């Protein structure tokens, strides 16, 4: 183990980790990035809602540009997965990367989330393969007037369907063989919004180019779609910090204060892994705040204490709920 600990170890080099790297490098901090190579941003065919790119930008292109910018200031990003993170008696950390032990004074966790894949017959990894969309906030605008299928269960599935209602009136919510588990009130909202509910198992799937184009149910009924979304949610990649006793929310996301500080001293978090809106711009903003707070902490200017508000939630589900309450019955599209 080298003698001098890093100022910071940035775990993850998606939009959050790379933004933090650019900031920390320009703050002349001694840090390293480590990345497992599975950024969600790499799955974006083209993003039209990321500001500054009026013609849209491919996720991989954005990551490449950010990596070039970080490297321009001498940033080292090592490929690999941090498998273990321990706290030392003096409050610093030691991370394990392969056989290497990396001592560091602070850590920025920017590890993102993993999307839950729908179980479609003979179509494994449909989200990873780009056959199914995942984020109405990201690309709902592009499906204006389309025939939409939403794979989802329970209230969160309905929330996504209601969220998409401002773009189209042709929406079918499919639970793939499990009961939809909606309350009477939720079923009423679905009916008022003209959302078709389907609880039957899917027997087969048709793919047309880069999209799922129809789902054939066990009864033989065929539902044709222009676009299919998944509303099954995601799992936070926060298992590294669970043993540290860091506070996580009920979805496993790291709870932070307004300076991106977790409840573990010296451990900061930014991006999708944090309880917030899963968007590139949010990941970048949180990373800028975290990097600045880390720099200030290391130069002896601790941020003022702020309460960590466990009740605050910016999850899409929460936003959907607010939005659906105002939408139902308005025949938006």
**280 touches ligand FAD by CB under 6 A:** yes
**60 touches ligand FAD by CB under 6 A:** no
How far, in Å, CA of 42 to CA of 59, rounded?
5
**112 touches ligand FAD by CB under 6 A:** yes
**13 touches ligand FAD by CB under 6 A:** yes
Is the CB of residue 143 less than 8 Å from the CB of residue 168? yes
Sign of the four-CA dihedral 139, 140, 143, 146: positive
**32 touches ligand FAD by CB under 6 A:** no
Is the CB of residue 173 less than 8 Å from the CB of residue 190? yes
Name the minimum Å distance from CB 64 to ligand FAD. 13
Where in the chain does DSSP place strands (E)? 6-11, 31-35, 77-79, 82-87, 93-97, 100-109, 113-115, 147-151, 170-174, 196-198, 202-208, 211-217, 222-224, 227-230, 234-236, 267-269
Name the minimum Å distance from CB 76 to ligand FAD. 14
Give the closest residue to 29 by CA, choosing from 15, 14, 8, 4.
Answer: 8
**82 touches ligand FAD by CB under 6 A:** yes
How far, in Å, CA of 330 to CA of 68, rounded?
47
Could you give the 3-state DSSP secondary structure of residue 305? coil
Of residues 163-202, which lie at the interface with ligand FAD (CB under 6 A)?
A: none
**34 touches ligand FAD by CB under 6 A:** yes
Bridge-based pairing of strands 234-236 and 113-115 is: antiparallel
- Cα 186 from chain centroid? 26
**Residues in contact with 67: Cβ distance below 8 Å, sequence separation at least 6, in sequence order:** 13, 18, 77
Name the minimum Å distance from CB 253 to ligand FAD. 11
**272 touches ligand FAD by CB under 6 A:** yes
Stretch that binds ligand FAD, among 20-28, 254-262, 276-284, 323-331 (CB under 6 A): 276-284
How many CA atoms lie less than 13 Å away from 199 in the CB half-sphere?
Answer: 7
Stretch that binds ligand FAD, among 32-40, 143-151, 193-201, 313-321 (CB under 6 A): 32-40
- Would you say 90 or 210 has its CB closer to ligand FAD? 210
Residue 124, token pair as written in the block: 């494994």
- Would you say 19 or 168 has its CB closer to ligand FAD? 19
Sign of the four-CA dihedral 14, 284, 161, 56: negative
Size of the site for ligand FAD (CB under 6 A): 39
Of residues 194-253, which lie at the interface with ligand FAD (CB under 6 A)?
A: 237, 240
The site map against ligand FAD for 133-152 (x = CB under 6 A) is -xx--xx-------------
- Would you say 274 or 298 has its CB closer to ligand FAD? 274
Measured from the Cβ of residue 83, the count of other Cβ atoms closer than 10 Å reads 11
Stretch that binds ligand FAD, among 193-201, 207-215, 245-253, 274-282 (CB under 6 A): 274-282
Residue of 271, 275, 276, 316 that binds ligand FAD (CB under 6 A): 271
How far, in Å, CA of 82 to CA of 231, rounded?
29
Name the minimum Å distance from CB 81 to ligand FAD. 4
**7 touches ligand FAD by CB under 6 A:** no
- Would you say 233 or 328 has its CB closer to ligand FAD? 233
Residue 37, token pair as written in the block: 């190579």
Q: Would you tell me which residues interact with ligand FAD (CB under 6 A)?
A: 11-17, 34-41, 43-44, 47, 49-50, 81-82, 110-112, 115, 134-135, 138-139, 237, 240, 271-272, 278-281, 283
């Amino acid at each position: 183990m080298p003698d001098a600990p890093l100022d910071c170890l940035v775990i993850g080099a998606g939009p959050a980790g790379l933004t933090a790297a650019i900031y920390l490098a320009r703050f002349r901090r001694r840090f390293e990035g480590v990345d497992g190579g599975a950024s969600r941003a790499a799955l974006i065919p083209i993003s039209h809602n990321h500001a500054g790119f009026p013609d849209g930008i491919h996720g991989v292109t954005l990551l490449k540009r950010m990596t070039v910018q970080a490297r321009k200031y001498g940033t080292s990003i090592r490929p690999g997965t941090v498998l273990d993170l321990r706290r030392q008696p003096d409050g610093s950390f030691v991370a394990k990367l392969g056989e290497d032990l990396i001592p560091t004074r602070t850590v920025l966790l920017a590890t993102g989330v993993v999307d839950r894949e729908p179980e479609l017959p003979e179509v494994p990894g449909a989200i990873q393969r780009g056959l199914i969309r995942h984020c109405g906030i990201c690309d709902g605008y592009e499906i204006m007037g389309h025939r939409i299928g939403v794979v989802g269960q329970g209230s969160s599935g309905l929330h996504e369907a209601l969220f998409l209602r401002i773009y189209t009136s042709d929406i079918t919510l499919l639970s793939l063989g499990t009961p939809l588990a909606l309350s009477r009130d939720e079923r009423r909202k679905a009916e008022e919004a003209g959302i078709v509910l389907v609880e039957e198992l899917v027997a087969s799937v048709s793919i047309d180019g880069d999209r799922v184009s129809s789902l054939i149910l066990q009864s033989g009924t065929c539902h044709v779609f222009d676009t299919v979304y998944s509303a099954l949610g995601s799992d936070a990649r926060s298992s590294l910090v669970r043993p540290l006793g860091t506070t996580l929310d009920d979805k496993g996301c790291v709870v932070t204060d307004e300076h991106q500080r977790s409840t573990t001293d010296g451990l900061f978090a930014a991006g999708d892994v944090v309880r917030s809106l899963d968007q590139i711009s949010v990941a970048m903003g949180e990373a800028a705040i975290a990097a600045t707070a880390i720099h200030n902490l290391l130069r002896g200017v601790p941020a003022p204490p702020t309460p960590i508000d466990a009740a605050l939630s910016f999850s899409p589900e929460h936003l959907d709920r607010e939005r659906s309450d105002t939408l139902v019955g308005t025949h938006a599209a």
